[in-house]
Amino acid sequence: MACHSPTFPASQKRAFGVSRIRLAGGTPNSARRCENAISGGVVKVNKLITVLVGFFVLMTTGAALAQQAPKTPNILKGSPMGAVKFDHTSHLKVAPKCETCHHASKPEKPLKSPQEACTDCHTHPATPPVTTSVQGAFHNPTATAGLCIDCHKRENGAGKAAPTKCTECHQKANG
C-alpha cells in the first residue's frame, strides 16, 4: 500500500504528515507528493534536533550559572578570638555534598542563592526573623558540639587531625 493510496487510513495519513502534503500541492498519488511527504518528515526531524540541541545548551549553561564552591579559603570574621579560615577544597573530600553545611531554604528567611553566605543571615546578635546567632550556627557556647565540631570529633576518632580547640580554629593571624 503506497503512502498516498486512497485506502491508507486517515489517521495514519495524519501520523505521517500526509494530510499536510495536500496543501503542498501535487496531484493525488504523484511522485511529488511522496517526496513532499518525505521532506516534510526530514523537516520535522530537523526541528526536533534543534529543540533538543537548544534544550541541551540551556541545561549546560544552567549548570555553569550554578554556584561553585570557592577555590580560596573563606575567612569568617567576628569572634574577638580571631577569624576562622574555612577551606572548601580540603573539605569537599570528606563532605562532598553542599547540603552537609548549606541547609535548605527556610520560610523565616528564604535563601537568595543555594549557597548564600551563612553570615548574611546568622549574625551577632541574631537579627530577627532569624533566631540562631552566628555562634549558634557553628557551635554551642562551649564548642563541644555543632556542625564543624561534631564531624571533626568523628573524623579524629577515625585517625584524622581536624581542629577541636578554640585557638586551632580562631586565629588572630587569620584576620
Q: Which of 121, 145, 153, 173 binds ligand HEC (CB under 6 A)?
A: 121
Q: Report the alpha-carbon distance of residue 8 to residue 5 in Å, rounded.
A: 5
Shortest spacing between CB 159 and ligand HEC, in angstroms: 9
Instruction: Give me the residue label for grid cell 486517515.
Output: 10
Q: Which of 34, 38, 40, 155 binds ligand HEC (CB under 6 A)?
A: 155
- Please, are residues 155 and 69 in contact by the beta-carbon 8 Å criterion? no
Instruction: Give me the residue label for grid cell 517526496.
Output: 35
**Exposed, middle or buried: residue 166 (CB in 10 Å: 0-12, 13-18, 19+)?**
middle
> Would you count residue 106 as binding ligand HEC (CB under 6 A)?
yes
Q: Which of 90, 140, 172, 175 binds ligand HEC (CB under 6 A)?
A: 90
> Would you count residue 24 as binding ligand HEC (CB under 6 A)?
no
Instruction: Give me the residue label for grid cell 544552567.
Output: 62
> Would you count residue 85 as binding ligand HEC (CB under 6 A)?
yes
- Please, are residues 172 and 77 in contact by the beta-carbon 8 Å criterion? no
Bridge partners of 170, per DSSP, are 84
Q: Which of 22, 124, 153, 172 binds ligand HEC (CB under 6 A)?
A: 124
Q: Which residues bind ligand HEC (CB under 6 A)?
A: 67-70, 74, 76, 78-79, 81, 84-88, 90-92, 94-95, 98, 100-103, 106, 108-109, 111, 115-122, 124, 130-132, 134-135, 137-139, 142-143, 147-149, 151-152, 155, 160-166, 168-170
